[in-house]
């Protein structure tokens, strides 16, 4: 009888133990379910929150208003507002025909020699070139004049300014002008620290132009040293850098004619006189001008420059003629 009681008690204890284990299991399952639901709810909340606060478009856009200090400090006039707004006009992109017609520069292993040969050509050709841009007020006016006159030109752009006004670079490109390289900063102390910094300035400017044009593999192939490629305190450094640039397929060019718009020639008469004086004796001319923000005199003189050269029998080309 005692044995039977012990057996019965043992069976009861086993049943109680199993029941307790079952209850613990149920509690564990319940807690796990609650934690899972909590994690799902918290995760859903953060996903929804991030989507709500995330910008619809992560693309970085340049402000519609000019931001450089030289423009910001100029009093706004109705005419200036008209000029500034003109830079935002949508320009049609290249057609396949235009691309096939050399709107994309191509490497030319003989380019340096062909540019040197220009100085000895007996054909009356004028290459109008503009340095130091783009700028918000001057570049659009220059482009308008070139478009009205049907004249191609070459723009030696500064990379930092390309990043400020990519739409102006795109417009110049779309209207058939050659986009060439004038370094990234145009700060001599930065550019001419070493051969490496000259090359870096070239590459940084080229990358800025690629971004502005939306063409990842765009190559410019043509460089103008700030201050020219020879002479001055940086002459040796410039000469050393030419081989490095050449190894990248880059040709450099200077000029043999100018309007003096960077030398204090601030009237139409003075710029035409400087043009006549510096082009004397040359048939093929590379004309140096500027489209920086303080060069309104260049805009005022440009129609007269074009008219005078036409009267002298010149035709106009840009460096697509070589690249």
Say whether 290 is catalytic. Answer: yes
Residue in 177, 182, 186, 290 annotated catalytic: 290
Distances (CA, A) of 263 to 23, 255, 267: 95, 15, 12
**Is 70 one of the annotated active-site residues of the chain?**
no
HEC states along the chain? CHHHHHHHHHHHHHHHHHHHHHHHHHHHHHHHHHHHHHHHHHHHHHHHHHHHHCCCCCCCCCCCCCCCHHHHCCCCCHHHHHHHHHCCCCCCCCCHHHHHHHHCCCCCCCHHHHHHHHCCCCCCEEEEEEECCCCCCHHHHHHHHHHHHCCCCEEEECHHHHHHCHHHHHHHHHCCCEEEECCCCCCHHHHCCCHHHHHHHHHHHHHHHHHHHCCCCCCCCEECCCCCCCCCCCHHHHHHHHHHHHHCCCEECCCCEECCCCCCCCCHHHHHHHHHHHHCCCCCEEEEEECCCCCHHHHHHHHHHHHHHHHCCCEEECHHHCC
Residue in 131, 132, 261, 291 annotated catalytic: 131
Active-site amino acid positions:
131, 290
């Amino acid at each position: 009888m005692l044995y039977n009681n012990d057996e019965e008690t043992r069976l009861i204890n086993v049943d109680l133990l199993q029941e307790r284990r079952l209850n613990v299991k149920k509690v564990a399952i319940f807690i796990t379910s609650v934690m899972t639901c909590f994690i799902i709810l918290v995760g859903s909340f953060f996903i929804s929150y991030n989507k709500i606060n995330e910008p619809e478009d992560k693309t970085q856009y340049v402000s519609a208003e000019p931001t450089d200090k030289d423009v910001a400090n100029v009093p706004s006039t109705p005419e200036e507002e008209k000029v500034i707004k003109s830079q935002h006009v949508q320009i049609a992109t290249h057609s396949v025909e235009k691309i096939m017609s050399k709107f994309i520069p191509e490497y030319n292993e003989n380019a340096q020699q062909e540019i040197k040969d220009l100085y000895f050509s007996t054909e009356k050709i004028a290459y109008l070139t503009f340095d130091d841009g783009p700028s918000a007020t001057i570049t659009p006016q220059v482009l308008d004049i070139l478009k009205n006159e049907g004249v191609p030109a070459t723009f030696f752009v500064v990379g930092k300014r390309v990043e400020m006004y990519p739409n102006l670079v795109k417009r110049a490109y779309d209207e058939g002008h050659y986009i060439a390289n004038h370094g990234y900063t145009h700060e001599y102390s930065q550019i001419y620290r070493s051969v490496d910094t000259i090359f870096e300035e070239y590459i940084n400017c080229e990358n800025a132009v690629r971004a502005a044009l939306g063409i990842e593999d765009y190559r410019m192939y043509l460089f103008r040293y700030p201050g020219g490629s020879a002479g001055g305190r940086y002459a040796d450094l410039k000469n050393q850098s030419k081989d490095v640039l050449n190894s990248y397929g880059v040709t450099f060019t200077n000029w043999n004619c100018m309007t003096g718009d960077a030398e204090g020639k601030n009237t139409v008469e003075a710029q035409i006189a400087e043009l006549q004086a510096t082009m004397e004796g040359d048939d093929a001319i590379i004309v140096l001008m500027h489209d920086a923000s303080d060069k309104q005199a260049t805009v005022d003189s440009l129609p007269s420059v074009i008219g005078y050269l036409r009267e002298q029998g010149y035709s106009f080309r840009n460096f697509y003629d070589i690249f």
